[in-house]
């Protein structure tokens, strides 16, 4: 089967981010002729050469459309539209594929995929990695109420017209079902590569600890984007409070983004706070294995409760219990399985108290870590998840175009 994937941000495990898009492309390339239509935005962020940029069976079509988290809202919108326009033109001119896969973020990438599928009369799958336009609207990036209505109408239309919608969490799936009751929706979580997680042996962990001076008894880790939505000011406030109470704790922040200057400033002012550079994905997994507790935080916005943050899955796979601030499915998960804690968003005092209590009982920490690893292997093995995704793609590709009814 010939598959074209519209994905504005493509990267490999050599980049400082989780590698789900790469894993999906690699899995589909085993059985199909796959073209990924993307940009070069992540190429400059490649930090190693352990993985081929294009897996076997995958062709990359790359546009020069710059993007970074420091861009203003108008600059980001321009990047979204530039990619969508070029992807649409390519999709209409290429030899006819059998199936189109469109992945958001942003919604414009999925819109281009859906348009190509409709005009060429082929089925398509809509992968929802973030809820747009709810996310930019709640972040204040879309001030016009009229534009809100237009974007929400477009979102629902894409859900209805897709042969299949794939979400990354049960809460996202519920959102899609509310916005488009007739849509055919499946949740396939982000997951983690278990083989990479299991390679985080003691030698690799010791190397990272020596490299970054992680020499205190306990390590609390935040590894991910320093974006506006990630509540870094809350984490820094909690880190200062925790450091004032305990001298044997180091709070490390690995990543980059909007709040990087604040993290760097805090690291200069407090010896218990450490700024680490973004690392390739396998090294990030090893860093999670070094930590006693990890943090997955967001600001207080309803849309963020449905998020499926890759750092959550990576922490569990490394056997590191996690503190979450999403009052959604991640809260329910850690409380049901006993592999972490929930603290309400933007509550630095409560977060510091939670961390202090967790670190006071190393035996309980280790027990939660064992549970975390066990449930990760049972529920979030990316190899199994990608096999499931491949089966869904195969079924969708044999369906006639025309929305979810054709899939059933």
CA distances from 124 to 10, 33, 36, 73, 181 (A): 19, 16, 14, 29, 18
Total count of residues recorded for the chain: 408
CA distances from 200 to 178, 179, 197, 313, 322 (A): 41, 42, 6, 15, 18
Residues 232-279 have pLDDT tens digits of 999 999 999 999 999 999 999 999 999 999 999 999 999 999 999 999
Residues 82-121 have pLDDT tens digits of 999 999 999 999 999 999 999 998 999 999 999 999 999 9
pLDDT at position 405 is 52
Residue 280, SS3 per DSSP: coil
Residues near 276 by Cβ (< 8 Å), separated by ≥ 6? Answer: 212, 223, 252, 253, 254, 255, 287
pLDDT at position 408 is 44
Residues near 165 by Cβ (< 8 Å), separated by ≥ 6? Answer: 125, 126, 127, 128, 159, 176, 180, 183, 184, 185, 186, 404
Residue 252, SS3 per DSSP: strand
What is the distance between the alpha carbons of residues 53 and 355, in angstroms, rounded to a whole number?
39
**In the numeric block, which tokens belong to residue 317?**
């796979």
- Architecture (CATH level 2) of domain 2-191+381-406: 3-Layer(aba) Sandwich (3.40)
Q: Torsion angle of alpha carbons 69, 280, 346, 270, nearest 10°?
A: -100
pLDDT at position 402 is 66
Topology alike, domains 2-191+381-406 and 194-379: yes
Residues near 200 by Cβ (< 8 Å), separated by ≥ 6? Answer: 285, 286, 288, 289, 318
pLDDT at position 69 is 74
The stretches in the chain having pLDDT less than 70 are 402-403, 405-408
Q: What is the CATH number of domain 194-379?
A: 3.40.50.2000
**In the numeric block, which tokens belong to residue 220?**
């609390």
Residue 68, SS3 per DSSP: coil
pLDDT at position 359 is 97
What is the distance between the alpha carbons of residues 110 and 123, in angstroms, rounded to a whole number?
13
pLDDT at position 194 is 78
Residue 39, SS3 per DSSP: strand
Q: Where are the domains of the chain?
A: 2-191+381-406, 194-379
CA atoms within 13 A on the CB side of 225: 13
Residue 341, SS3 per DSSP: strand
CA distances from 54 to 25, 36, 151, 196, 257 (A): 9, 9, 33, 19, 26
């Amino acid at each position: 089967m010939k598959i074209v994937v519209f994905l504005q941000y493509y990267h490999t495990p050599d980049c400082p981010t989780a590698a789900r898009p790469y894993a999906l492309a690699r899995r589909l390339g085993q059985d199909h002729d796959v073209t990924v239509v993307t940009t070069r935005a992540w190429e400059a962020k490649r930090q190693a050469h352990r993985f081929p940029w294009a897996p076997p069976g995958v062709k990359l079509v790359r546009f020069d459309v710059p993007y970074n988290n420091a861009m203003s809202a108008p600059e980001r919108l321009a990047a979204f539209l530039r990619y969508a326009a070029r992807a649409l033109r390519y999709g209409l001119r290429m030899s006819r594929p059998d199936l189109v896969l469109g992945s958001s973020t942003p919604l414009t990438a999925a819109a281009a995929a859906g348009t190509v599928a409709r005009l060429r009369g082929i089925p398509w799958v809509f992968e929802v990695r973030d809820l747009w336009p709810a996310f930019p609207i709640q972040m204040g990036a879309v001030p016009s109420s009229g534009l809100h209505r237009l974007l929400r109408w477009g979102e629902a239309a894409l859900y209805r017209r897709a042969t299949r919608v794939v979400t990354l969490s049960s809460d996202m799936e519920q959102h899609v079902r509310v916005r488009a009751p007739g849509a055919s929706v499946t949740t396939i979580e982000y997951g983690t590569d278990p083989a990479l997680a299991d390679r985080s042996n003691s030698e690799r962990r010791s190397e990272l600890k020596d490299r970054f001076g992680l020499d205190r008894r306990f390590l609390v880790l935040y590894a991910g984007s320093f974006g506006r939505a990630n509540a870094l000011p809350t984490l820094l406030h909690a880190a200062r409070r925790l450091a004032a109470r305990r001298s044997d704790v180091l709070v490390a922040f690995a990543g980059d983004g909007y709040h990087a200057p604040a993290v760097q400033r805090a690291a200069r002012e407090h010896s218990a706070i450490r700024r680490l550079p973004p690392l390739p994905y396998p090294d990030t997994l090893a860093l999670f294995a070094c930590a006693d507790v990890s943090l997955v935080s967001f600001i207080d916005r309803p849309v963020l409760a449905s998020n499926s943050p890759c750092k959550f899955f990576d922490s569990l796979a490394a056997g590191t219990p996690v503190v979450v601030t999403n009052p959604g499915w991640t809260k329910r998960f850690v409380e049901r399985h006993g592999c972490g804690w929930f603290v309400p968003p933007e509550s630095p005092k409560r977060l510091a108290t939670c961390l202090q209590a967790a670190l006071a009982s190393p035996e309980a920490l280790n027990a939660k870590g064992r549970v975390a690893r066990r449930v990760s292997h049972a529920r979030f093995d990316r190899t199994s998840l990608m096999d499931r995704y491949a089966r869904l793609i195969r079924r969708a590709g044999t369906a006639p175009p025309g929305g979810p009814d054709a899939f059933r």
